[in-house]
Amino acid sequence: MDYKRTIIAVRGDTQGGHSGGLVNPKTELPDFDIDEDGNTIFVGYRNPELRPIQKHLWKWHEQDLQNIKDLANGDSVVWLEMGDLTQGNVFKDDLAINNLSEQWFISFWNTLPLLEMPNVKAMYLARGTGVHVWGEGATETMLTFALKTRYPDIKISITDHWLLDVDGFLLDVAHHGPGAGIRNWTRGNVFDLYCKSILKDDIELGNRIPNVVLRGHKHEFTYRRAIHQVRHKIWELPGFITPPYCFIGSHAQKVMNSPSFMGVGLLALEIINGKLHNYHPFTHYVDLRAKEAV
């Protein structure tokens, strides 16, 4: 058998425009001013000012991209962008940039380093949440076609829900899915049942069973493996809630019931001859509690 190895690299929930969102410091934002005659004029480009946490996020991001490059070691790379690449302007809390154009430019510049890596053969984007991506996947849709123009030799495509065959390895990929749970002893239980439902549906319908399920949106890296057994026959379906690449804000703190910790990062799936050889979470965790002694 011929040996074929591919790295599927996964990123999502970068939330460009949020005060804790990912920002490439090389981002060029169009700058306008009003001249002495009262006319609005284009005066050039400016780089955004990064907050301390954003500088830290970008440092981690560069490390993780190097980890992906080292893991690939010359083999092909397929990128999955899981959605919510901008913050939108519905949730005003912690919003650093309020307009579509600048948020979109941030998402564009955040994505360039992924496609500048050697041996990238494809990128597949999933549309995110309407309130974050300016309705109907506007951020990812505009980004897709801008990137296709810039990188004509890389296959770049977008939809809401993928069933992707990468070298014989089948991935079920979408932005939305269940959360990880609110207690450590139940973490992943709902996601486990979610994956098992997908597994049983495909068994009963006689469909090809995916090799992995990937979901984003919930900002908490989680791994589960659903199992279904009938006598001697056993089926398995692993799944991941992928890590975000943004820092938590006040709205997320409320939705997640004030978590003590959070993690950001990338996920890489190492595929050899159509099978999952290993998975590699490149994640970074922080304690969200302010510590003080009196």
Tell me the pLDDT tens digit for each residue of 191-203.
999 999 999 999 9
Query: In what helix (H) or strand (E) does residue 79 lie, and over which residues does it extend?
Result: strand 76-81
d(CA 205, CA 248): 40
Contact 131, 88 (CB under 8 A): yes
Q: What is the pLDDT of residue 264?
A: 97
Give the pLDDT confidence of 226-254 residue by residue, as tens digits: 999 999 999 999 999 999 999 988 878 88
Task: Tell whether the model's pLDDT for residue 115 goes beyond 80.
Answer: yes
Quick check: helix, strand or coil at residue 44? Answer: strand
Please give the helix or strand (H or E) that residue 8 lies within, else none: strand 5-11
Average pLDDT of 119-145? 95
**Total H helices, total E strands in the chain:** 5, 13
pLDDT higher than threshold 70 for residue 1 = no
The encoded tokens of residue 266 equal 């990338």
Which is more confidently placed, 92 or 239?
239
Tokens of 249: 């804000």
What is the C-alpha separation between 142 and 156, in angstroms, rounded?
12
pTM: 0.95
Bridge-partner residues for 32, per DSSP?
42
pLDDT at 173 over 80: yes
Q: What mean pLDDT value characterizes the chain? A: 95
